[in-house]
Amino acid sequence: MTILVTGGAGFIGANFLYWELREHPEDRLVCVDALTYAGNLRSLEKAMKAENFRFVKADICDRKAIFDLFEEEKPDIVVNFAAETHVDRSVENPGVFLQTNILGTQTLMDACRRYGTKRFHQVATDEVYGDLPLDRPDLFFTEETPIHASSPYSASKAGADLLVMAYARTFGLPVSITRCSNNYGPYQFPEKLIPLMISRAMSDQPLPVYGTGENVRDWLYVDDHCAAIDLVMRKGREGEVYNVGGHNERTNLEVVKTILRALDKPESLITFVKDRPGHDRRYAIDPEKIHRELGWLPQTAFDQGIQATIRWYLDNKGWWEEILAGDYQQYYQRMYGNR
Which residues of this chain interact with ligand NAD, rule CB under 6 A? 6-7, 9-13, 33-36, 38-39, 59-61, 81-85, 100, 104, 123, 125, 157, 180, 182-183, 189
Element of type H or E holding 173: none
The C-alpha atoms of residue 79 and residue 4 are separated, in whole angstroms, by 6
Q: Which of 277, 282, 181, 161 is CA-nearest to residue 225?
A: 181
Burial 326-338 (b: 16+ CB within 10 A, else e): eebeebbeebeee
The residue among 73 and 127 lying less far from ligand DAU, judged by its C-beta, is 127
Annotated catalytic residue 92: no
The yes or no reply on residue 283 touching ligand DAU (CB under 6 A) is: yes
The yes or no reply on residue 126 touching ligand DAU (CB under 6 A) is: yes
Q: How far is the CB of 101 from ligand NAD (least distance, A)?
A: 7
Identify the bridge partners of residue 240 per DSSP, sorted by sequence position. Answer: 176
Contact 3, 31 (CB under 8 A): no
Give the strand pairing for 207-210 and 183-184: unpaired
The residue among 75 and 159 lying less far from ligand DAU, judged by its C-beta, is 159
Strand order in the sheet with 175-180: 53-57, 28-33, 2-6, 77-80, 119-125, 175-180, 240-244
Q: Give the SS3 label for residue 182.
A: coil
The residue among 54 and 217 lying less far from ligand DAU, judged by its C-beta, is 217
The residue among 20 and 126 lying less far from ligand DAU, judged by its C-beta, is 126
Among 28, 89, 192, 289, binds ligand DAU (CB under 6 A): 192
Annotated catalytic residue 153: yes
Among 208, 287, 298, 305, binds ligand DAU (CB under 6 A): 208
> Binding partner of residue 59 among ligand DAU, ligand NAD, none, CB under 5 to 8 Å per kind?
ligand NAD
Amino acid at 119: R
> Beta strands of the chain (E only): which ranges?
2-6, 28-33, 53-57, 77-80, 119-125, 175-180, 183-184, 207-210, 216-218, 220-221, 240-244, 249-251, 270-273
> Binding partner of residue 176 among ligand NAD, ligand DAU, none, CB under 5 to 8 Å per kind?
none
The C-alpha atoms of residue 302 and residue 137 are separated, in whole angstroms, by 18
Burial 95-109 (b: 16+ CB within 10 A, else e): eebbebbbbbbbbbb
Annotated catalytic residue 240: no
The residue among 319 and 331 lying less far from ligand DAU, judged by its C-beta, is 331
Query: In this chain, which stretch among 44-52, 120-128, 262-270, 323-331 interacts with ligand DAU, using CB under 6 A?
Result: 120-128
> Binding partner of residue 122 among ligand DAU, ligand NAD, none, CB under 5 to 8 Å per kind?
none
Catalytic residue among 20, 59, 129, 153: 153
The yes or no reply on residue 209 touching ligand DAU (CB under 6 A) is: yes
| Residues classed as catalytic | 126-127, 153
The site for ligand DAU (CB under 6 A) is made up of 85-87, 125-127, 181-182, 192-193, 196, 208-210, 215, 217, 252, 276, 283
